[in-house]
Amino acid sequence: MLNVADNSGARKLMCIRIIGASNQRYAQIGNVIVAVIKEAVPNMSLEKSEVIRAVVVRTRKELKREDGMIIKYDDNAAVIIDQKGNPKGSRIFGAITEELRKFRFTKILSLAPDVL
Amino acid sequence: MRLEKCWFCSSTIYPGHGIQFVRNDAKIFRFCRSKCHKNFKMKRNPRKVKWTKAYRRLHGKDMTQDSTFEFERKRNRPQRYDRINTEKVLQAIPKISKVKATRQKDHITKRLSVGRVNRRTEDRRELEQSISLVKAPSVLKEDATLTLPKQKVTVSYAQTENTPMEE
């Protein structure tokens, strides 16, 4: 169950599938996933048990960079996006890594309060 | 590239070493090795763990305030490259670190010298009190040569100049 790192209206997501990878078991930071909303804030556009796409932005599993830096977060979180890759919410919560730039999620990076 | 300090033990973290943990409030904890990381996960307070710099500084074991510390400061803005300045800094760094190291060493020596004096007085007192374990006091009284008294002899420097050094 992933936390939602934006203000789109959902609170918790359950990952169903990883987009673009046939047998990949675990999603990493930057992977787009298909998820179902398990918990949502009432009276917003997104409802519970809705199937949406999201991009993983924080994982408890370490992210390894080529320069040897290893980053670990305290939770697993995703940002809900539409088919094009634009975030559904208008604010992002928490720190985001530069890895998303490689995957062309520049809008998310610009909204992020802190970029590592 | 930036040399960070370990959150737990305060040693420098070189590139390629250690793990960074980002908490949900976006505070970053950097650790130099898994020892520090594991201690952090155990929720240990570095100020209470004896081998960390935080403990040593807090309890006065290591030098805390000195002018040599002011040469090294964290700057978040990158400085424009100035060749003369860079050359001067590169020449100054080994001198400053040498001064810092000697001062830190002196601080520790000074702290431990009190113990050395105490141990010496203790030993002297033990010698005076327990010499009877080595020799019976009556024997010491009879024969004065058994305890060699200290004699002060003045050395005239004119004599020592002519004597050759021993190989």
Out of A68, A69, A72, name the one closest to residue B21 (CB): A72
- State which residue of chain A sits closest to B25, comparing Cα positions: A94
**C-beta separation of A58 from A29 below 8 A:** yes
Out of A68, A72, A73, name the one closest to residue B16 (CB): A68
Q: How many C-beta atoms lie closer than 10 Å to residue A83's C-beta? A: 6
Encode pLDDT of A72-107 as tens digits: 999 999 999 999 889 999 999 999 999 999 888 999
In this prediction, residue B158 has a pLDDT band, given cuts at 50, 70 and 90, of: low
pLDDT for residue B101:
94
Higher pLDDT: B52 or B148? It is B52
Between chains, do B15 and A67 touch, taking CB under 8 Å as contact? Answer: yes
The CA-atom distances, in angstroms, between B38 and each of B11, B42, B53, B72 are 16, 6, 17, 29
C-alpha span between B38 and B35 (Å, rounded): 5
Contact residues, chain A, for B24 at CB < 8 Å = 73-75, 94
Provide the shortest C-alpha distance from residue A69 to chain B (in Å).
Answer: 6
| pTM (predicted TM-score) | 0.77
- State which residue of chain B sits closest to A71, comparing Cα positions: B20
